[in-house]
Amino acid sequence: MTKSLGLATRLVPFVPKSMTPTPASADSILMRLVKNASVTDSALLGVSSKPPGTPAPGQAAAAPRMSQPGPPKPIVREAMGFIPKPPKSLAEAGLLESEISSLILKKLFHRSMEAGFRLSEQLGLRLAVIEPVLRQMKADRLVAYKSTVNAGDYVYELTDLGRERGRELSQACTYFGTAPVPLQQYAASVAAQSIARQRPSLDSIRKAFFDLEIPERLLSNIGQAIHSGRGMFLFGNAGNGKTSIAERITKSYGDNIWIPRALTAQGEIIRLFDPNRHEAIRLDDSVVNETYDARWVCIRRPTVIAGGELRMENLEVNYIRNTGIGEAPLQLKANCGMLLIDDFGRQRMPVDELLNRWIVPLEQRHDFLHLESGRTIQTPFDQLVVFSTNMEPKDLVEEAFLRRIPYKIEVKDPTEVEFNKLFLESAAKLRFECSPAALEYLLAKYYRPIGRSLRFCHPRDLLRQMENRCTLHELPRVVTEEALDQAVENYFSIM
C-alpha cells in the first residue's frame, strides 16, 4: 500500500512578486510568465515556505507507464504547500461574464433545464459567483425561471433567443464542462509547485528505487540530475532497466500537485487534466473542509512517457475535430513532473526536428504553443526531461544540444556479483530454490565461453521461463541445470 508522502505544513499566502526563488535560475524564469498577474490572482494561491518531506518507507514499487482511469485513490492530508483557493468573484476567478454565460448556454442547450446550484457544481464555482451572470442572462432574455428550488435559487431553462445562442456557441466549441483557469494563474501555480523547488534527500531517492538493483555511484548520478530538475540522457544496452529507472524518478520528488482541469488562453479552451496521464487524488476531509477551487484537481506528480509513436503534433495543442476543444500537448501535461522520451532516436519524427523544437524550452524553461486561431502563447516548461536510448548520445545529437542536457548517465551491464545477487533475490520472490552452484553452471556454460553480456533483465526473464515450465509439468520450483538449459534455449535461441 502506498503511504502518504511528506509532513503537514502551514499554508501561507503566495504572492508571486515577493516569492524568494529557489533556485533563482529556474524560478526567476518561470516567474516571468506571471509577473503581470493581478493582485487578485495572487490571492487565489497558497505556497508553503517549507520544503516537502521525504517519501515514507514502503511506497509502491513501480509506477505504471500510464495511469489507468478509475476512482481516485484516497490519501490522508499531505504536505501541499499550494492549494488553489475558491474565488469569491469572477474577477478573482480571472474570467469574463461572457465566458461563464457561454458555458451556461451550452449546458442548458444540451440539458434543457438545470437548477442554479447544479450549474454551480458543474462550473466548479460557487453559486454566489455565477448568480450575477444568471441574473444578467435573465435580463437579456436568454434564460427564464422554470421553477423555484429554494430561497434564492431557481431552475433555469433557455428562451427561444437563448436556445439559438446556445446552438451557435455549441457549433463553435462543444465544451461546457468545468470553468477554465486563465493561463496566467496556471503559470503561477507551476512556479509555486516547480520541481526546481524540490530537494529530495539521497535517502528518499534511495527509497524510490528500493526495488531495483542500483549501484551506489549510479544512484548518486541520478540523484544529482533529479536535483537539477532540468534534463538527462539515460543510455546503455537494452535490458538494463533504463525505463524502469526513469519511471521511478518522479517518486523521489514526493508530493502531489494541483492542476486545472482546463485552461483558457486567448479565448480558447485547452483541456489539461488527462485521466490517462494523471493519477487523481481523493482528498480527505481535512482538505475538503478547508475548501479549494473546484476547477482544479489534485494529482500525483506526473510521469508522462512517449515512445516511438511520438510525433511533432504531440508537442502542440491538438484540436479535436469538430469540437473547437484543444488538448494540451505532452510537455504541458508533464509540468511539475517528468517527461520521458523512451527509445530516443527511434521516433517517427527526425531526431533533429525534435531537438530543434526543444532547444529554447530546455534553456529558457518556457515554451511557445500555437493556437487554432494562429496566435502564439507562452507556457511554462517545468519538468525533468529524460531521454532514454540504447544508442550513444553523441551519435544521435550535436554537441550544442548535448550541452543543454546537463547529465549524461550510462546504465552499464551488471557485474557477475550484481548479476548473481539479483538472480538470487528474484528467485526468492518467485519462490524458487536456487544454489550458487546453479548460477555458476549458468555463467560457465552460457555466458563466459561466448562472451555473452550480462543484462539486469536476464534473471527475471530466465526465471519466468522456468516458472512456466514448472507450472506446465507440475515440477517443484528448483533452479536445476535441466531447467536452465531449457530456459536458455528458449530465450537466447536467436540472440
Structure confidence by residue, pLDDT tens digits, 342-361: 888 887 788 888 888 888 89
> Residue 201's Cα: distance from chain center in Å?
21
* pLDDT value of residue 308: 80
Tally of CA atoms within 13 A in the half-sphere of 212 that contains its CB: 28
Cβ-in-10-Å burial (0-12, 13-18, 19+) of 150 comes to exposed
Is residue 35 within 8 A of residue 183, CB to CB? The reply is no
Mean pLDDT, rounded, for 63-78: 40
Rounded CA-CA distance 96/439 in Å is 70
In the chain, pLDDT over 70 holds for what percent of residues?
82
Given the candidates 1.10.8, 1.10.3470, 1.10.10, 1.20.1070, the CATH classification of the domain at 416-492 is 1.10.8
Q: List the domain boundaries for the chain.
A: 12-87+182-410, 96-179, 416-492
The arithmetic mean of pLDDT across residues 206-235, rounded, is 88
Architecture of domain 96-179: Orthogonal Bundle (1.10)
Instruction: Please enumerate in sequence order all residues whose Cβ is within 8 A of that of 98, keeping only pairs 6 or more positions apart, or say none.
Output: none
Task: State the Cα–Cα distance between residues 185 and 325, nearest whole angstrom.
Answer: 20
Which residues make beta-bridge pairs with 479? none
Cβ atoms of 255 and 52 closer than 8 Å: yes
Which grid coordinates are listed for 272?
A: 489539461
The top-scoring range by mean pLDDT among 15-29, 111-125, 462-476 is 462-476
Beta-ladder partners of 145: 156
User: Quick one: CA dihedral 194, 196, 199, 203, positive or negative?
Assistant: positive
pLDDT at 67: 35
pLDDT tens for each residue of 87-102: 999 999 999 999 999 9
pLDDT grade for 456, boundaries at 50, 70 and 90: very high
What band does 187 get if pLDDT is binned at 50, 70 and 90?
A: very high
DSSP collapsed to 3 states, the chain: CCCCCCCCCCCEECCHHHCCCCCHHHHHHHHHCCCCCCHHHHHCCEECCCCCCCCCCCCCCCCCCCCCCCCCEECCCCCCCCCCCCCCCHHHHCCCHHHHHHHHHHHHHHHCEEEHHHHHHHHCCCHHHHHHHHHHHHHCCCEEEEEEEECCEEEEEECHHHHHHHHHHHHHCCCCCCCCEEHHHHHHHHHHHCHHHCCCCHHHHHHHCCCCCCCHHHHHHHHHHHHHCCEEEEECCCCCCHHHHHHHHHHHHCCEEEEECEEEECCEEEECCCCCCCCEEECCHHHHCCCCCCCEEEEECCEEEECCCCCHHHHCCEEECCCCEEECCHHHHCCCCEEEECCCCCCCCCHHHHHHHHHHHHHHCEEEEECCCCCEEEEECCCEEEEEECCCHHHHCCHHHHCCCCEEEECCCCCHHHHHHHHHHHHHHCCCECCHHHHHHHHHHHCCCCCCCCCCCHHHHHHHHHHHHHHHHCCCCECCHHHHHHHHHHHHCCC
Please compute, for residue 1, the number of CA atoms within 13 A of its CA located in the half-sphere on the CB side.
Answer: 6
Higher pLDDT, 390 or 66: 390
Confidence of residue 148 (pLDDT cuts 50, 70, 90): confident
Question: Residue 359: how many CB atoms within 10 A of its CB?
Answer: 12
Strand partners, 296: 260
Strand pairing category for 338-341 and 325-327: unpaired
Q: How confident is the model at residue 283 (pLDDT cuts 50, 70, 90)?
A: confident
The pLDDT value recorded for residue 351 is 82
pLDDT tens, residue by residue, 390-420: 888 888 888 878 888 889 999 999 999 999 9
- pLDDT of 30 > 50? The answer is no
d(CA 142, CA 161): 6
* Model pLDDT, residue 284: 67
pLDDT for 257 beyond 90: yes
Looking at the predicted structure, is the pLDDT value of residue 285 above 70? no
Task: Tell me the average pLDDT across 153-171.
Answer: 94
Residue type, 164: E
Distance CA 188, CA 404 (A): 25
Mean pLDDT throughout 483-490?
96
By CB atoms closer than 10 A (0-12, 13-18, 19+), residue 144 is: middle
Question: Which of the four pLDDT bands, split at 50, 70 and 90, describes residue 69?
Answer: very low
**Does residue 163 surpass a pLDDT of 90?**
yes
Q: Does the predicted TM-score (pTM) go above 0.75? A: yes
- Whole-angstrom Cα distance, residue 86 to residue 398? 48
**In terms of Cα–Cα distance, which of 271, 295, 268 is closest to 377?**
268
277 CA to centre of own chain: 6
Domain 12-87+182-410 has CATH 3.40.50.300: yes
pLDDT band at 477 (very low <50, low <70, confident <90, very high): very high
Contact 27, 197 (CB under 8 A): yes
Cα–Cα distance for residue pair 157/456, rounded to 1 Å: 64
